[in-house]
Amino acid sequence: MGPLVLLRHGESVANACDMFAGWLDVPLTERGRTEARDAAQSLAALCPDAVHTSVLGRAVETARLLIEEAGWELSPRAHWRLNERHYGALQGLVKNQARARFGAENVQWWRRGVDGRPPWAGDAVLAAQRADPRYLGIPEAAGIAAESLADVAERMTPYWLDVLAPELAAGRSMVVVSHGNALRALMHLCTGKPLGETAPSELGTAIPLIIQAAALQTQIPVP
């Protein structure tokens, strides 16, 4: 199996103001763009066979900057299954606002627990999501209103088993540019570690995490 590089997107506007972004589209800050270019310098010698990303703008932009700066001759492959966790009613709230509204213990459980699912997004959010061209014709994606980390792992499992794992098994190397919770779920799927172990992982923006072939597995792990 080839190596797998996991890369959280560069700092976004939401990161800078400590806001829950989830499936909202927020741009990178200038610092985030610099972080993406710096990551490219550390990965330039890798020459991956593919770069996968979510459909959210902050990850797509990070992947584009990474590829351009590293000089790789490929295009990123975007898929909604690599999106960040849908934070439901928390999306758009600064974390202190969320704690004041829902309670600090609840917010912490939703952030770092395995099964904690935030309150669902409102009708207006779902209506906009269903009208988004990225999710048209994909009812499974358009109807997601809030997710736990376990939900994210379940949502990502088909992409791991049908796309990423076969390519790795064929000896190809890959970079996945995604989001904190999505990468925690992917760490669970690709190494077999329980979600309870990967959930507390702190993943810095645009800091590559290289998982060597010996640590990868292709069976669905027990949550």
Catalytic positions: 9, 84
d(CA 91, CA 96): 13
Query: If you search the block for the tokens 């949502």, which residue do you land on?
Result: 155
Query: If you search the block for the tokens 């999306």, which residue do you land on?
Result: 91
Q: Which amino acid is at 54?
A: S
- CB-CB contact of 95 with 15 (8 Å): no
How many helices and strands (H and E) does the chain possess? 11, 5
Query: If you search the block for the tokens 């932009």, which residue do you land on?
Result: 61
- CB-CB contact of 214 with 191 (8 Å): no
Q: Which residue from 19, 38, 30 is spatially nearest to 96, judged by alpha carbons?
A: 19
CA–CA distances in Å: residue 19 to residues 11, 53, 93: 12, 21, 6
CA angle 177, 183, 188 (to 5 degrees): 140
Cα-to-chain-centroid distance, residue 200:
15
Strand partners, 38: none
